[in-house]
A and B are shown apart, each in its own frame.
Chain A
Amino acid sequence: MSTVLPTPATVKTGEPVLQIRNLVVDYGYGDDPTHVLREVSLTLNKGEVLGLAGESGCGMSTLAYAASRLLPPPGIITGGEVLFTRRDGSVVDILKLSDKELRAARWNDIAIVFQGAMNSLNPVYRVSKQLTDVIATHRPALSRRELDDRAAELLELVGISPDRLRSFPHQLSGGMRQRVMIAMALALEPQVLIMDEPTTALDVVMQRQIVEQITDLRERLGFAVIFITHDVSLLIEVADRIAIMYAGEIVESATASEVYRMPRHPYSDGLLGSFPPLHGPRRELGGIPGSPPDLAKPIDGCPYADRCPFAFDRCRVENPALKQTVFADLEPERLVACHLHDLPLAKVPVQLTRRPA
């Protein structure tokens, strides 16, 4: 079986378009907030697809909302910055933009497909109107005719026959509504596209068609994508780089194939190891025992320690920082938040030390 992976060499690295730095998000005001994001840092480079994965409730959507300043109350950003590089090269902190600047940037510079996108269309307007409204706001010079043509073109892009343009949202299937939201996000060819579980209601044929469409567009237009999904197989296919989240923190970040073939964090190993294969012999499946910690309570030490088969004393008292792996010299780019990687190689569990090529 061939195992050649697409090299990320085609991606221009070192040209960040979105830099999230030490982002802290709480839910709830007063003395007793839930700390849902705890100092998250993440860099998205031009032309790159960055995958974000983790268990349910670990803060992926919160990160997506906070970075685009769409966090609904009682969510509050209490620290950090989100630096966005404009087309002209200037850098702004999204968190400091005025409301007017923010409105101008939305859809045009940064577009987001929400989780539950199938529910975020306005039920009282036809799909055609909702699409053309978004375009018209940012491209006032376009004629009615041009707007309609563009809307039809966008629907075809996502595999919906244009005879459905005049449908109301409730007349479309879940996956069709999801695709309308994807079309809307693509409408203005933004520089950053944030997609939160965008394909949960799509069959794999349609999913592949849309993912290819997005990959083509990103090559042509050079935009960057943050792709959030629980579908690990899909993520490994679409993402250049993957960041694994746990309990409001990034615990591992590396290229997609590295995370899949040689996970360095015990959590990544558990998360990636338990999906059912479509081909080959059926095998019994485990999953990670236990659940993520309650973010409303203070967490001492590593948040994964309670579930980690390799936890030792230090893990229960000190939260590990995101830093290089035990193979620092061989894979300097890889980051992991795990005390095991401070130990001598011989003491690190073999599951986590598959050798880099």
Chain B
Amino acid sequence: MSNEAPDPDDNGIALEATGLEKLFPVRGLRGRAVHAVDGVDIRLDRGRVVALVGESGSGKSTIAKLLALLIPRTGGDLRLDGEPISGRGRRAFRAYSRRVQLIFQDPFASLNPVHTVRYTLTRSVRIHRGALRGAALESALELLLDRVQLRPASRYLEKFPHELSGGQRQRVAIARALAANPEVLLADEPVSMLDVSIRLGILNLLKDLRDDLNLAILYITHDIASARYFADRTSVMYAGRIVETGDSESVTQRPAHPYTRLLIDSAPDPDQLTKAARKARGEAPSLVTPPAGCRFNPRCQFATDLCRTENPPLLDVDTGRQAACWGYSDRQDRPVLDDTLVGGRVSS
């Protein structure tokens, strides 16, 4: 591990996973498993935000937990600062979790009900800053709560989780992660229960930390508009695989994969109520017996025999953009996409 101070201009790789895989065995069905994460590559650069969006149940939280070493992976490699991470050993795990913090998806389950906000945050602050006490501790706690807009701090410090509203718990969970001053922040739906006003405040705060502390952030969300605003890059997941990745503006404004298109079209939009999603229907795939070939093929209007038999790799569609769709290959038997996707004819 290098001891040099991080260079603020260096957007080197902080955390990188290749070929990440997680199979959950299914009891009573010998040899069968839930393919929760299936061959995912993901790279978190310092001072950058990567958004992970996609289907419910497609493996986003599992990726976050794998990256946080909370569950063992069944395949793939992990590197933090270039160092291979095995994920074994308590000491190594503690050192790792100091540097890589996870904000859990469910704020109702992730805060210990028997501890006050003060206790929870104090513990986290001390992990990073040692045995802080007295006025220094007080001001550290106040600053943390102020950052997540729980003001004044005195109103919240002595509260137990059950005395807080959903959005207030979510903010305590964010404060706890920030208290440890990590290098990598894995944020699983961190603002899903917050109103737009506070949501913006928190996202702007994370943006500042990204810039000031060179933090690498994985931002898992269902709010695609916020991914557009907040994330440098966006990756889209479907049934355990990444099906599209690229800079956030292009992915959200000119999707390449048919699933991404469906996702963007389905987002509620009060200014376009009439065009509201037409083709939302469709079975989500079983992950125990996933469809052969491209996992989206049963719901895809463009699917051909090729899509039903062979799994498409991520293919280049534009500079810095990739999509796992045969439509972007040069195969003879590739599906023909229409002009609603970047690969189709350019519409006027």
Residues of A in contact with B (beta carbons under 8 Å apart): 1-6, 27, 53-57, 61, 72, 115-116, 118-120, 159-161, 163, 166, 171-176, 179, 197, 200-209, 212, 230-234, 236-237, 260, 270-271, 274-279, 282, 285-288, 291, 294, 296
Residue in A5, A161, A209, A277 whose beta carbon sits within 8 Å of that of B225 in the complex: A277
Instruction: State in angstroms the CA–CA spacing of A271 and B196 once bound together.
Output: 7
Known A-B contacts A116-B166, A159-B283, A278-B267; A271 and B57 likewise in contact (beta carbons under 8 Å): no
A174 with B189: CB separation less than 8 A: yes
* Cβ of B274 under 8 Å from chain A: yes
Selected from B28, B106, B196, B223, the residue in CB contact (under 8 A) with A118 is: B106
Q: In the bound complex, do residue A1 and residue B271 qualify as a contact, i.e. CB atoms below 8 Å apart? A: yes
Compute how far the CA of A166 lies from the CA of B109 in the bound complex, rounded to whole angstroms.
Answer: 22
B155: A residues at CB distance < 8 A: 294, 296
Contact B284 A206 (CB under 8 A): yes
**Which 9 pairs across A and B sit closest by C-beta, in order of nearness?**
A56-B167, A175-B56, A116-B108, A287-B197, A200-B192, A233-B268, A119-B108, A278-B225, A236-B270
Within 8 A of A (CB), among B268-295: 268-277, 280-281, 283-286, 288-289
- The interface residues of chain A lying within 8 Å CB-to-CB of B252 are 278
A56 touches B168 (CB 8 A): yes
A179 to chain B, nearest CB (A): 8
Cα distance A331–B39 in the bound complex, in angstroms: 58
A4 to chain B, nearest CB (A): 6
Residues from chain A with a CB closer than 8 A to the CB of B53 are 203
* Contact with A204, one of B34, B108, B222, B272 (Cβ below 8 angstroms): B222
B200 within 8 A of A: yes
| Contact of A205 with B272 in the complex, beta carbons under 8 Å | no
**Which residues of B pack against A, CB within 8 Å?**
24, 28, 34, 53-58, 61-62, 105-109, 149, 151-152, 155, 162-163, 165-168, 171, 189, 192-201, 222-226, 228-229, 249, 252-253, 262-264, 266-277, 280-281, 283-286, 288-289
Contact A200 B189 (CB under 8 A): yes
Q: Name the residue on A nearest B299 (C-beta).
A: A205
A3 x B271 contact (CB < 8 A): yes
Known: A161-B283, A161-B286, A209-B280. Contact between A200 and B270, CB under 8 A? no
> Is there contact, CB below 8 Å, between B228 and A278?
yes
Docked-complex contact A204 and B198, CB < 8 angstroms:
no
Residues of chain A within 8 A of B276, CB atoms compared: 208, 237
Residues of A within 8 A of B280 (CB): 205, 208-209, 212
Q: Would A205 and B270 count as touching, CB distance under 8 A?
A: no
A204-B284 in contact (CB<8A): no
Judge whether A173 and B24 touch: CB under 8 Å: no
In the bound complex, residues from chain A placing their C-beta under 8 Å from that of B200 are 274, 276, 285-287
Contact between A56 and B193 (Cβ–Cβ < 8 Å)?
A: yes
* In contact, A230 and B196 (Cβ under 8 angstroms): yes
**Among A56, A231, A270, contact of B198 (Cβ-Cβ < 8 Å):** A56
Instruction: Pick the contact of A291: B149, B199, B269 (CB < 8 A).
Output: B149
22 examples of A-B residue contacts, CB within 8 angstroms: A53-B195, A56-B165, A56-B168, A61-B166, A116-B107, A120-B108, A160-B284, A172-B57, A174-B61, A201-B189, A202-B222, A203-B54, A203-B222, A205-B280, A208-B268, A230-B196, A231-B268, A236-B270, A278-B267, A287-B197, A287-B201, A291-B149
CA of A1 to CA of B229 in the docked complex: distance in angstroms? 24
Q: Which residue of A lies closest to B149 (CB)?
A: A291
Q: Is the CB of A204 within 8 A of B266?
A: yes
Q: A61-B166, A200-B192 are in contact. List 12 more A-B contacts (CB 8 A).
A: A1-B271, A72-B162, A115-B166, A118-B105, A118-B108, A163-B288, A174-B61, A204-B267, A209-B280, A230-B195, A236-B268, A274-B196
Pair A119/B56 contact, Cβ less than 8 Å: no
Distance in angstroms between the alpha carbons of A270 and B276 in the assembled complex: 25
User: Knowing A56-B165, A116-B108, A278-B264 touch, does A6 contact B57 (C-beta < 8 A)?
Assistant: no
In the complex, the answer to whether B55 meets A57 with C-beta atoms within 8 Å is: no
Q: Which residues of A contact B271 (CB under 8 A)?
A: 1, 3, 279
Q: Chain A residues near B171: list those with CB within 8 A.
A: 56
Checking B225, B266, B274, B283 against A208 with a beta-carbon cut-off of 8 angstroms, the contacting residue is B266
A238–chain B nearest beta-carbon distance, Å? 8
Inter-chain CA distance A161–B201, complex, in Å, is 38
CA distance A118 to B277 in the complex (A): 26
| Pairwise interchain contact B55-A233, C-beta atoms closer than 8 A | no
Interface hub of A55, A56, A179 (most chain B Cβ within 10 A):
A56
| A1 to B72 CA separation, bound complex (whole angstroms) | 50
Is there an interface contact between B269 and A279, defined as CB atoms closer than 8 Å?
yes
Min CB gap A174→B, angstroms: 5
B269 / chain A contacts, CB cutoff of 8 Å? 233, 278-279
The answer to whether B107 and A55 have CB atoms under 8 Å apart is no
B contact residues around A270 at 8 Å (CB): 197
CA distance A204 to B273 in the complex (A): 15
Indicate the member of B107, B201, B268 with the most A CB atoms within 10 Å.
Answer: B268
Q: How far is the CA of A2 from the CA of B274 in the complex (A)?
A: 7
The contact of A205 among B28, B226, B262, B273, by CB within 8 Å, is: B262
Q: Out of A4, A288, A296, name the residue touching B197 (CB < 8 Å).
A: A288
CA distance A278 to B223 in the complex (A): 9
Report the minimal beta-carbon distance from B61 to chain A, rounded to whole angstroms. 6
Q: Which residues of B contact A288 (CB under 8 A)?
A: 197
- A278 and B225 alpha carbons, distance in the complex (Å): 5
Q: Are A237 and B273 in contact (CB under 8 A)?
A: yes
In the complex, A277→B272 CA distance in Å?
Answer: 12
Q: Give the residue name and chain of the B residue nearest to A283 (CB).
A: B229
Q: Is the CB of B283 within 8 A of A56?
A: no
Please tell me if the beta carbons of A282 and B228 are within 8 angstroms of each other in the complex: yes
Task: Quote the shortest CB–CB distance from B271 to chain A (angstroms).
Answer: 7
- Residues in B whose Cβ lies below 8 Å from that of A175: 56-57
CA distance A3 to B272 in the complex (A): 6
CA distance A260 to B273 in the complex (A): 12
Residue of B nearest to A57 (CB): B165
Q: How far is A128 from B209 in the complex, measured between Cα atoms in Å?
A: 44
**Closest residue of B by beta carbon distance from A174:** B105
Cα(A279)–Cα(B165), bound, Å: 31
A27 touches B196 (CB 8 A): no
With A278-B228, A278-B267 known to touch, is A1 a contact of B167 (CB < 8 Å)?
A: no
Q: Which chain B residue lies CB-closest to A278?
A: B225
B28 / chain A contacts, CB cutoff of 8 Å: 166
Residues of B within 8 A of A161 (CB): 283-286, 288
